[in-house]
Amino acid sequence: EKGNHRHFMQKEIYEQPEVVGRTLSAYVNAVSGRVRPREGVDFSKMTRLHIIGCGTASYAGQIAEYWFEGIAGLPVKVDIASEFRYRNPAFLEGDAALFISQSGETADTLEALRLCKAAGIVTIALVNSPHSSMAREADIVAPTLAGPEIGVASTKAFTCQLSALAALVVLAGAQRGRLSAEEQAGHIANLMAVPSLMAAALKVEQAIDRLASELAQASIVLYLGRNEFFPLALEGALKLKEISYIHAEGYAAGELKHGPIALIEDDVAVIVIAPHDALFAKTRSSIQEVRARGARVIAITDRPGADELDGETSAQLLLPRLTGMAAPIVSAVAVQLLAYYVAVHKGTDVDQPRNLAKSVTVE
């Protein structure tokens, strides 16, 4: 049931503080400040982790790649399932594979899992549907507790995937001797704050609602970000194209000069995910470049970022100040709401966008 919400997608966006909290509780022992070990998961012996999924799930994997490598020192290779399964992948001693899927039934992801099992690789399924094929067939199941997701465009499943992945990163850092007890507790505290930060982030709704009518006129929308905000830019663009049918692309901000800047003209809107972090100055210069060429720039940022960008953007969407792994998880709320309100403004069928199915069980 949609309750007070107009669409399932809106309801599912608003459920995120609750379901992310529930998912984190399944992984974290809040009293000890540790992530509970998962039977069969030993990150200490892994040489490399393959992360495989489709669409939004693969973007969750791309965000986790920054975390596993940067925080736990674990080399990661992310693949789109449909590419992985047909490219005759090469394996190393000590490889493991993690499959991310809301449904647990996506045909390409399931076949990639079967390929890894046949190759003798340890398989972990990060799935939202506990009775799905992937949950049955993988060696190890890592659950997300998002509850049923009805809207075709994935929202709460994505942030629950990120939250579970972040917890696994802390476990990996502990098992690999990369994180002291104090550092683990720091990451856990950062993650346990996600539900309340998300609730605060949902307040950008009003500002987004005001922007939607203008954005709905854009011929192209580019999303830019750096580090973990690059895959989040990909996710923002996917969400917008899925439900509003506006052509949107996500790029790493540093790639702008290598091609996409040629697209910039008056009716192009650029959404820049620009938290005030270590790379802010670089992201700011990307903003200046696209603005100088006539694009309408909307920054998703925080108070310090907004102060520095004053006068350099057409609009700003203010999120709470975010750090650590919480930052991309909480920021996801802004790109979801943006896509949602543009679609509502355009009058599209938000929960059942044309040509799309909730679960892609055929190739």
Tell me the pairing of strands 28-29 and 34-35. antiparallel
The active-site residue, picked from 77, 117, 346, 358, is: 358
Report in angstroms the alpha-carbon separations of 1 from 4, 9, 11, 88: 9, 12, 9, 44
Q: Which of 119, 143, 112 has the alpha carbon at shortest distance from 130?
A: 143
Among 82, 102, 286, 336, binds ligand F6R (CB under 6 A): 102
Verify binding: residue 57, ligand F6R, rule CB under 6 A.
Answer: yes
358 is an active site residue: yes
Considering beta carbons, is residue 21 or 151 the nearer one to ligand F6R? Answer: 151
Residue with CB nearest ligand F6R? 55
Region of 87-95, 98-106, 112-120, 220-228 interacting with ligand F6R (CB under 6 A): 98-106
Query: Could you give the maximum distance between any two Cα atoms of the chain, in Å?
Result: 57
Mark residues 143-162: x for contact with ligand F6R by CB under 6 A, - for none. Answer: ----------xx--------
Query: How far is C-alpha 194 from the chain's CA centre?
Result: 14
User: Does 55 participate in binding ligand F6R (rule CB under 6 A)?
Assistant: yes
Give the separation between CA 208 and CA 15, rounded to whole angstroms.
18
> What is the distance between the alpha carbons of residues 239 and 215, in angstroms, rounded to a whole number?
14
The answer to the question of residue 76 lying near ligand F6R (CB under 6 A) is: no
- Antiparallel, parallel or unpaired: β 315-318 and 95-101: unpaired
Is there binding between residue 360 and ligand F6R (CB under 6 A)? Answer: yes
Segments of 54-115 assigned E as strands:
76-80, 95-101
Selected from 15, 205, 242, 302, the binder of ligand F6R by CB under 6 A is: 242
Judged by beta carbon, residue 113 or residue 166, the one nearer ligand F6R is: 113
Under 8 Å between Cβ of 125 and 135:
yes
Binding track over 191-230 against ligand F6R, x by CB under 6 A: ----------------------------------------
Residue closer to ligand F6R by CB (options 81, 171) is 81
Q: What are phi and psi of 221, to 5 degrees?
A: -120, 125
Q: Does 123 bind ligand F6R (CB under 6 A)?
A: no
Sole binder of ligand F6R in the list 51, 54, 169, 332 (CB under 6 A): 54
Residues 33-52 that bind ligand F6R (CB under 6 A): none
Q: Which of 56, 227, 301, 316 binds ligand F6R (CB under 6 A)?
A: 56
Expressed in percent and rounded to 5, the helix, strand and coil fractions of the chain are: 50, 15, 35
Q: Is 320 helix (H, G, I), strand (E, B) or coil?
A: coil
One residue of 10, 23, 109, 286 binding ligand F6R per CB under 6 A = 109
Residue 244: name the closest of 338, 351, 346, 354 by CA. 346
Q: Which residues are catalytic?
A: 358
Binding site for ligand F6R (CB under 6 A): 54-57, 101-103, 106, 109, 153-154, 238, 242, 359-360
